[in-house]
Structure 1
């Protein structure tokens, strides 16, 4: 199997290369229209150690943290602001962190940076915390369920939603991406949520699109098979780039489940 093809997304999505520009425009439009923002809040000394906070009208019911994807190599907090609209519309604050990117940072360092960002955001907003992340971000929020990750606010986390997560990193060592990621066997093992037996047991909903590459469907299923606390939702007619779109809709099933307003069987489908 050619793993470079197995983990390629844009080549197998109609107009796939157009999505980043669309995301940036939607994010910018949302920032222009939503004035209750706190931008560039630091959580460390590096320039990438910052997050944006989108606040609802009135007192926040709690905090949602969205961790972006990009194979740990691309994007930042300003590319995804529009995805805060769903949770903000339900009365929650939403934090969107940037983090150091490969090759300047190994994945283990990125994991620790995301934990620090979540702790810093938790200091800004009281109440329960709900974590969502897409692709590499799905990996990173899943790692927050593992006890080896230093996370002071973990007892406040109500639910984790890894969306199209990379849960077993070992296959990536056999891709060209590893020229940038520099994964070795020890790091791939230690940083793979599906291989980590030392967990807190936080309720987890693994979400994946039915039209995704089979490698991502397998990664999502594998995580739910080995984590008893994890449920699987396979969203019909969604691919890797539009599977996150319902986060921008306050009335979507994705937002309802993330916020704990809807419960489903262990394996289900949703819009």
Structure 2
């Protein structure tokens, strides 16, 4: 297998180069009209910040969305518009940035997201749902693992999770050029693979992936759903870059799965 090709998304999506500019524009437009508190710190690093988008009135709950980018790029500013669906349903949404793999290891990024969730939970006293896309799907799945050691007062508030198009087994990434940055060996890759770790929080969880994604992402999603014995939803007609669009639509199947009756 050519692992670099197998794990490349942009090379197989028509017009892929246009997506980041579109995301940035849509996110900036949403922030202008949203009730937003930006750059709330959860640590001392410049990237250890999260944005919090609030509905009118008392929030029914808190969604934490963690962005993707192969742990190598992007930040919270590109994804603000994806809070629209949850906010319309009366939920607050926290979107953190985190340190990137050029500076820290993936285990450190997992710890960043853990800290972000704890900080966001302190801002909104309500049930919590975790979701994230690509690398973010991996990161929110990691928080359900036993070694995340979430404090009991936060863990008991987590009522659901939807990892979207994540990498659940990091061992294949050891064979990609990206591993020059990740520096994963067998032990580190295994430790950071949700599909290979004990599940600690048995909250309602659905693994979500686009039907038109690269075969390895379908395989990764199936591996996580199988390991955890949770539902797998394969969204028809969607690829790795547009599988998250339905987070903007409060009536979408993705939002219904994420929030249920909430």
What range describes the TM-score normalised by the shorter chain of this pair? over 0.9
Give the structure-1-normalised TM-score: 0.94
Aligned to 2:102: 103
Is the CA contact 2:164–2:208 (under 8 Å) kept in the aligned structure 1? yes
Matches within 5 A, 1:96-135: 96-135=95-134
Q: Structure 1 residue 190 and structure 2 residue 191: aligned? A: yes
Q: Deviations over 1:194-249 (max 9, x none)?
A: 00124222221100000000000000001111102x21100000000000000011
Is the CA contact 1:128–1:158 (under 8 Å) kept in the aligned structure 2? yes
Give the structure-2-normalised TM-score: 0.97
Q: Structure 1 residue 140 and structure 2 residue 139: aligned? A: yes
Q: Structure 1 residue 166 and structure 2 residue 151: aligned? A: no
- Secondary structure at the aligned position of 2:201 is classed as coil
Aligned to 1:12: 12
For residues 61 and 112 of structure 2, the distance between their equivalents in structure 1, rounded to whole angstroms, comes to 22
Structure 2 residue runs of 5 or longer lacking an equivalent are none
Q: Structure 1 residue 214 and structure 2 residue 202: aligned? A: no
Q: Deviations over 1:14-70 (max 9, x none)?
A: 101111111000000101122x11111000111111100000011100100000000
For residues 12 and 105 of structure 2, the distance between their equivalents in structure 1, rounded to whole angstroms, comes to 28
Over the aligned positions, Cα root-mean-square deviation in angstroms equals 1.0
Is the CA contact 2:146–2:197 (under 8 Å) kept in the aligned structure 1? no
Deviation for aligned residue 1:112: 0.5
Is the CA contact 2:246–2:254 (under 8 Å) kept in the aligned structure 1? yes
Over 6 Å off, 4+ runs: none
Aligned to 2:27: 27
- Secondary structure at the aligned position of 1:204 is classed as coil
Is the CA contact 1:159–1:260 (under 8 Å) kept in the aligned structure 2? no
For residues 251 and 167 of structure 2, the distance between their equivalents in structure 1, rounded to whole angstroms, comes to 27
Aligned to 1:87: 86
Q: How many residues align?
A: 260
Aligned to 2:238: 238
For residues 148 and 106 of structure 2, the distance between their equivalents in structure 1, rounded to whole angstroms, comes to 12
For residues 21 and 30 of structure 2, the distance between their equivalents in structure 1, rounded to whole angstroms, comes to 14
Q: Structure 1 residue 53 and structure 2 residue 43: aligned? A: no
Structure 1 residue runs of 5 or longer lacking an equivalent are 263-271
Deviation for aligned residue 1:181: 1.2
For residues 45 and 149 of structure 1, the distance between their equivalents in structure 2, rounded to whole angstroms, comes to 21
For residues 203 and 104 of structure 1, the distance between their equivalents in structure 2, rounded to whole angstroms, comes to 34
Matches within 5 A, 1:54-73: 54-73=53-72
For residues 257 and 128 of structure 1, the distance between their equivalents in structure 2, rounded to whole angstroms, comes to 15
- Secondary structure at the aligned position of 1:148 is classed as helix
Q: Deviations over 1:69-101 (max 9, x none)?
A: 000011111110000000000000000000000
Is the CA contact 1:129–1:156 (under 8 Å) kept in the aligned structure 2? yes
For residues 260 and 150 of structure 1, the distance between their equivalents in structure 2, rounded to whole angstroms, comes to 26
Is the CA contact 1:115–1:150 (under 8 Å) kept in the aligned structure 2? no
Deviation for aligned residue 1:261: 2.7
Is the CA contact 1:112–1:150 (under 8 Å) kept in the aligned structure 2? no
